[in-house]
């Protein structure tokens, strides 16, 4: 089979530039061969996520599109390719001995975003993170041939923390799509109702809810850092950079006194450079 990995790498990186991310996508820190593999994984995840979120189509049309995407993926595992991207993805999965379930878990999470917009408790949120974020970290570890159960669990902590951080960052964006990822049990505990989201009300109750969630997320990051000793070289710097980026977002929210409405925290170029240097030298 003849592949065009350089073109796919460029396409994936171009795709990442059209979507704001809190983490470097297939950055220069990753060896070029591995970068191509990670880029096609990003293409898969971002494409499926866009099917669930982008454009003005009905929920049933989104589910249909995701079902079709999943069928194309399953066909690719059986050497039937609808396009070059799936052909390359199939090669990456076989060559790196990746678990196909990680990819179908991602699709299941994106389908869930279409049909589920409230979460009763934190266990339900964790189940979503288990499928929407954790598979990516495990895929990266497998691509670098780090196949250790403890490493997987620490990676899960990091990925879950990154997903939760994204929820806090995108409170307004998600609510505009009809979604609230804060557990309803916790909203009730802090006397937060949905009117506060609609009115974009930065009040003490909502700030307390956000602070509680951020403290828990910081603990996930802290536990996840136990992954670092399993890593080496550029990958270690890349993951440290990614974790530091998530922590920086939480720090920005804290410094803004948990006033999230109307003040979406984002990383700028200076943040990325500062975080990178700290990741290299500390």
Q: Are residues 80 and 129 in the same domain?
A: no
CATH number (domain holding residue 10) = 1.10.600.10
Q: Are residues 103 and 133 in the same domain?
A: no
Last residue of a domain, one of 71, 98, 115: 115
Spatial distance between the Cα atoms of 242 and 248, rounded to a whole number of angstroms: 10
The count of domains in the chain is 2
pLDDT tops 70 at residue 2: no
Q: What is the pLDDT of residue 104?
A: 98
Q: What is the pLDDT of residue 4?
A: 46
Last residue of a domain, one of 115, 137, 166: 115
* Residue-wise pLDDT tens digits, 154-207: 999 999 999 999 999 999 999 999 999 999 999 999 999 999 999 998 899 999
Q: Are residues 2 and 109 in the same domain?
A: yes
**Exposed, middle or buried, 91 (CB in 10 Å: 0-12/13-18/19+)?**
middle
Q: What is the pLDDT of residue 1?
A: 38
- Which has more confidence, 246 or 280? 246
Q: Is this structure's pTM higher than 0.85?
A: yes
Domain housing 203 = 117-282
Q: What is the pLDDT of residue 27?
A: 58
Q: Are residues 64 and 103 in the same domain?
A: yes
Q: What is the pLDDT of residue 127?
A: 98
Q: Are residues 203 and 152 in the same domain?
A: yes
Q: Are residues 176 and 248 in the same domain?
A: yes
Q: Are residues 123 and 97 in the same domain?
A: no
Average pLDDT over every residue of 69-93: 96
**Exposed, middle or buried, 172 (CB in 10 Å: 0-12/13-18/19+)?**
middle
C-alpha count within 13 angstroms, C-beta hemisphere, residue 165:
31
Average pLDDT, the chain: 89
The kind and range of the H/E element at 237 are helix 233-255
Last residue of a domain, one of 115, 149, 172: 115
Spatial distance between the Cα atoms of 162 and 141, rounded to a whole number of angstroms: 16
Average pLDDT over every residue of 70-77: 98
Spatial distance between the Cα atoms of 53 and 62, rounded to a whole number of angstroms: 8
Q: Are residues 86 and 138 in the same domain?
A: no
Average pLDDT over every residue of 38-54: 93
Cα–Cα distances in Å, from 11 out to 120, 122, 174, 202? 39, 36, 27, 40
pLDDT tops 70 at residue 24: no
Q: What is the pLDDT of residue 3?
A: 44
Least confident range of 8-12, 20-24, 51-55, 185-189: 20-24
Give φ, ψ of 161 to 5 degrees.
-60, -40
pLDDT tops 70 at residue 9: no
* Residue-wise pLDDT tens digits, 224-279: 999 999 999 989 999 999 999 999 999 999 999 999 998 888 877 777 778 777 76
pLDDT tops 50 at residue 85: yes
Average pLDDT over every residue of 94-108: 98
- Residue 44 CB: number of other CB atoms within 10 A? 23
Q: Are residues 110 and 149 in the same domain?
A: no
SS3 48: helix
Band (107; pLDDT cuts 50, 70, 90): very high
pLDDT tops 90 at residue 56: no
Q: Are residues 174 and 223 in the same domain?
A: yes
Q: Are residues 133 and 232 in the same domain?
A: yes
Q: Are residues 122 and 98 in the same domain?
A: no
DSSP H helices in 18-58: 32-53
- Which has more confidence, 14 or 135? 135
Average pLDDT over every residue of 213-222: 98
Spatial distance between the Cα atoms of 107 and 114, rounded to a whole number of angstroms: 11
């Amino acid at each position: 089979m003849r592949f065009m990995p350089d073109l796919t790498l460029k396409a994936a990186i171009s795709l990442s530039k059209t979507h704001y991310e809190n983490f470097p996508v297939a950055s220069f820190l990753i060896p070029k061969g591995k970068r191509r593999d990670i880029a096609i994984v990003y293409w898969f995840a971002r494409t499926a996520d866009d099917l669930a979120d982008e454009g003005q189509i009905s929920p049933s049309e989104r589910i249909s599109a995701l079902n079709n995407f999943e069928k194309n993926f399953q066909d690719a595992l059986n050497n039937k390719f609808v396009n070059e991207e799936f052909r390359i993805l199939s090669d990456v999965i076989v060559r790196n001995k990746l678990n196909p379930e990680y990819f179908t878990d991602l699709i299941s999470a994106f389908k869930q975003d279409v049909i589920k917009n409230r979460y009763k408790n934190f266990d339900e949120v964790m189940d979503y993170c288990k499928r929407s974020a954790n598979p990516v970290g495990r895929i990266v570890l497998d691509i670098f041939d780090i196949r250790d159960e403890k490493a997987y669990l620490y990676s899960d902590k990091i990925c879950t923390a990154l997903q939760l951080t994204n929820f806090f960052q995108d409170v307004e964006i998600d609510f505009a799509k009809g979604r609230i990822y804060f557990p309803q049990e916790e909203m009730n505990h802090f006397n937060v109702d949905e009117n506060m989201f609609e009115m974009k009300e930065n009040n003490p109750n909502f700030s307390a809810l956000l602070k509680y969630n951020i403290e828990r997320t910081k603990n996930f990051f802290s536990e996840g850092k136990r992954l670092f000793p399993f890593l080496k070289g550029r990958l270690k710097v890349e993951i440290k950079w990614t974790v530091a980026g998530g922590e920086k977002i939480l720090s920005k929210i804290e410094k803004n006194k948990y006033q999230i409405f109307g003040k979406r925290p984002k990383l700028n170029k200076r943040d990325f450079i500062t975080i990178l240097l700290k990741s290299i030298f500390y």
